[in-house]
């Protein structure tokens, strides 16, 4: 056999991926590059020649989990490269685990690869182009996260993401569309568009016009959504900051070009607290905009997140938030008790809210929202809804409607009498028979 076609045993890499969907996308890029260069990915510490740990550094619990994961990888394997948000937080990784081989920040595929090359130089393998063209993904085959930018130009006082990930850097729109096209061709049925700030897409490149398949496309959220709609699959937008031009995408939702789903973190409703958070908008404007959106697209699902117990939040501020919930009738809502994050500006603010008050406010908030969500979901009973199937059982399908993003929203449980060759990723119509505050039940 000619030596150039002799297959050598490839180096084996273990991979631990922690953190948010944006970190998952970073992991996918590193895994894709590893496979492209002929490394094998193995599921156990003992089979690996080296382990990469992609960490999260957002809140204290995530830092602890990441540090524990690094410690475990060191104990079980010994050769560990750390990447991700925790890697960008000064010396914390090296101080806690001085034996790690290398530490990089997030979004650092090239740096991680060069550290791997240093400890495990790639072996020649003529079969390396067997990597699937859509890359290696960590999500199930029928949906995929599509990261459109990195970093953020805002400076919300409770957040350290800009100091971890830097200012906004948008991916070229043609790259994003080529990736979406490959994913669709590989069988993905739902794209989850993610970034730190989806509506700012293209600000850093002055909305530059690029070319995709010979057609000009602006690096801008509205134009990106238009272009993504050509693939004929579900497109769901996450982390949309409430800029005025968000109004432009609502007609695309009404026309069925992208899912009528808006994940838009409002964070609070009191003008005083929003100002202290350095967030835009006041609640009256926001209510007006929500009403306009619903007029244009009555089926829109609005998901949002809020923070209770931000420094300086009085009972009156909090009641404004509860009143806003009553008025806005949002569909999907999360609420977090404020907690100091190392390095965040909000730590310097006076008026810390005692822990038990924060927890009590979160509980009151969630109780109010549970009632709103239950009432809103109840309106689905008797209606036909389209769902994407996530799981197929003998007597039941589990899926999600356009109102439900994976992992964070509810599910639709569909009773079936025969299996009818349903496949994960199929989009089918079901009749809703029952609901609670999160989930729906249906028949086929």
The residue ranges that bind ligand SF4 (CB under 6 A) are 152, 154-156, 159, 161-162, 196-197, 241
Q: How far is the CB of 157 from ligand SF4 (least distance, A)?
A: 9
- Closest to 310 measured CA to CA, from 334, 342, 275: 275
Instruction: State residue 281 phi and psi, 5-degree precision.
Output: 75, 155
Choose between 162 and 334: whose C-beta lies nearer to ligand SF4. 162
Choose between 220 and 238: whose C-beta lies nearer to ligand SF4. 238
DSSP label at residue 17: E
Q: How far is the CB of 308 from ligand SF4 (least distance, A)?
A: 16
DSSP label at residue 267: B
Q: How far is the CB of 165 from ligand SF4 (least distance, A)?
A: 8
Choose between 100 and 164: whose C-beta lies nearer to ligand SF4. 164
Specify the long-range contacts of residues 113-122, CB closer than 8 Å, at least 24 apart.
113/30, 113/33, 113/34, 113/37, 115/81, 116/13, 116/34, 116/39, 116/50, 116/52, 116/81, 119/50, 119/79, 119/81, 120/11, 120/13, 120/39, 120/49, 120/50, 122/11, 122/37, 122/38, 122/39
Q: How far is the CB of 156 from ligand SF4 (least distance, A)?
A: 3
Choose between 103 and 161: whose C-beta lies nearer to ligand SF4. 161
In this structure, the strands spanning 440-443 and 427-435 are antiparallel
Choose between 7 and 155: whose C-beta lies nearer to ligand SF4. 155
> How many residues can be counted in the chain?
444
- Closest to 240 measured CA to CA, from 261, 218, 255: 261
| Contact yes or no for 14/44 (Cβ under 8 A) | yes
Choose between 159 and 225: whose C-beta lies nearer to ligand SF4. 159
Longest dimension (CA), the chain: 80
Q: How far is the CB of 108 from ligand SF4 (least distance, A)?
A: 18
Tokens at 125, concatenated = 């393998």
Q: How far is the CB of 85 from ligand SF4 (least distance, A)?
A: 12
What distance in Å separates the CA atoms of residue 100 and residue 94, rounded to the nearest whole number?
7
Q: How far is the CB of 140 from ligand SF4 (least distance, A)?
A: 27
Choose between 34 and 307: whose C-beta lies nearer to ligand SF4. 307
């Amino acid at each position: 056999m000619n030596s150039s076609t002799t297959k050598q045993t490839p180096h084996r890499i273990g991979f631990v991926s922690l953190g948010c969907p944006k970190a998952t996308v970073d992991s996918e890029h590193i895994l894709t590059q590893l496979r492209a260069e002929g490394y094998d990915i193995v599921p156990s510490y003992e089979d690996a020649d080296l382990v990469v740990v992609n960490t999260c550094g957002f809140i204290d619990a995530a830092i602890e989990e990441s540090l524990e994961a690094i410690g475990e990888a060191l104990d079980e394997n010994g050769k560990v490269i750390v990447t991700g948000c925790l890697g960008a937080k000064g010396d914390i990784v090296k101080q806690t685990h001085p034996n790690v081989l290398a530490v990089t920040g997030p979004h650092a595929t090239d740096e991680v690869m060069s550290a791997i090359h240093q400890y495990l130089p790639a072996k020649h393998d003529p079969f390396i182009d067997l990597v699937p063209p859509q890359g290696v993904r960590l999500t199930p085959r029928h949906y995929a996260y599509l990261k459109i930018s990195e970093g953020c130009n805002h400076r919300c006082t409770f957040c350290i993401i800009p100091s971890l990930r830097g200012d906004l850097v948008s991916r070229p729109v043609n790259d994003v569309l080529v990736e979406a096209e490959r994913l669709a061709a590989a069988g993905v049925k739902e794209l989850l568009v993610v970034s730190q700030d989806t509506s700012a897409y293209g600000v850093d490149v002055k909305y530059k016009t690029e070319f995709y398949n010979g057609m000009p496309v602006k690096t801008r959220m509205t134009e990106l959504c238009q272009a993504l709609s050509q693939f004929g699959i579900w497109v769901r937008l996450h982390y949309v900051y409430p800029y005025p031009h968000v109004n432009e995408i609502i007609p695309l939702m009404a026309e069925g070009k992208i899912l009528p789903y808006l994940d838009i973190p409002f964070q609070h409703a009191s003008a005083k607290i929003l100002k202290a958070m350095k967030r835009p908008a006041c609640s009256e404007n926001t209510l007006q905009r929500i009403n306009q959106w619903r007029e244009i697209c009555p089926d829109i699902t609005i998901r949002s997140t809020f923070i209770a117990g931000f420094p300086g939040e009085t009972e009156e501020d909090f009641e404004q938030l509860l009143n806003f919930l009553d008025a806005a009738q949002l569909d999907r809502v999360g609420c977090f008790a404020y907690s100091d994050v190392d390095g965040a500006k909000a730590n310097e603010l006076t008026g810390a809210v005692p822990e038990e008050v924060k927890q009590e406010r979160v509980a009151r908030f969630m109780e109010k929202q549970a009632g709103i969500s239950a009432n809103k979901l109840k309106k689905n009973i008797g209606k036909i809804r389209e769902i994407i199937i996530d799981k197929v059982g003998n007597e039941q399908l589990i899926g999600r409607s356009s109102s439900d993003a994976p992992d964070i929203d509810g599910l639709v449980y569909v009773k079936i009498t025969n299996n009818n060759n349903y496949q994960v990723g199929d989009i089918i119509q079901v009749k809703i028979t029952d609901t609670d505050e999160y989930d729906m039940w249906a028949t086929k």
